[in-house]
């Protein structure tokens, strides 16, 4: 079975929990173990939080997820406007920093992480993948 979720969400704090719960409900319906679901939820939450905090050019962002029983593939797509900042810069945050560890967390919770510019539009795509089977 293949499940595809596509959401266009407002760039506000209430949208990240909605995205996490929607994806988690689908994963639970597919019988995915709680630990795997928690890793995916954490990675998605970090990606959404970054968009909400930094992508100023748009009032919305997109979350796309594909689950095929073996893998969960997620894209979080923003509209840009990072005001010259590099929100996905690969710098190491200090251990006690309040923020800046999003990439480290996503990388720790998933098996593949890619960040790219959108084709023919402003913004970025955060792409991550996680195996659903042990």
pTM confidence score: 0.85
Query: Residue 86: pLDDT above 90?
Result: no
Contacts of 91 (CB under 8 A, 6+ apart): 100
Please report the pLDDT score of residue 113 as a whole number. 96
DSSP codes of every residue in the chain: --EEEEEEEESSTTHHHHHHHHHHHHHHHTT--HHHHHHHHHHHHHHHHHHHHH-TT-SEEEEEEEE-SSEEEEEEE-----TT--TT--PPPPTT-SS--HHHHHHHH-SEEEEEEPTTSSSEEEEEEEES--
pLDDT at 95: 56
Q: Taking the domain 3-131, which CATH number applies? A: 3.30.565.10
Report whether 102 contacts 46 (CB < 8 A): yes
Residue 130, both tokens: 């996680």
For the chain, percent of residues with pLDDT exceeding 70: 84
Mean pLDDT in residue range 36-42: 98
Query: pLDDT at position 84, please?
Result: 46
């Amino acid at each position: 079975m293949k499940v595809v979720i596509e959401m266009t969400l407002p760039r506000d704090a209430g949208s990240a929990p909605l995205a996490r719960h929607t994806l988690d409900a689908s994963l639970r319906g597919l019988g995915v173990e709680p630990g795997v679901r928690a890793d995916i939820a954490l990675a998605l939450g970090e990606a959404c939080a970054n968009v909400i905090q930094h992508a100023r050019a748009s009032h919305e962002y997109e979350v796309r997820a594909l689950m095929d029983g073996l893998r969960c593939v997620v894209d979080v797509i923003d509209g840009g406007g990072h005001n010259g900042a590099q929100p996905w810069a690969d710098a190491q945050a200090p251990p006690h920093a309040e923020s800046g560890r999003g990439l480290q967390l996503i990388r720790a919770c998933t098996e593949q992480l890619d960040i790219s510019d959108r084709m023919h539009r402003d913004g970025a795509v955060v792409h991550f993948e996680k195996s659903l089977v042990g």
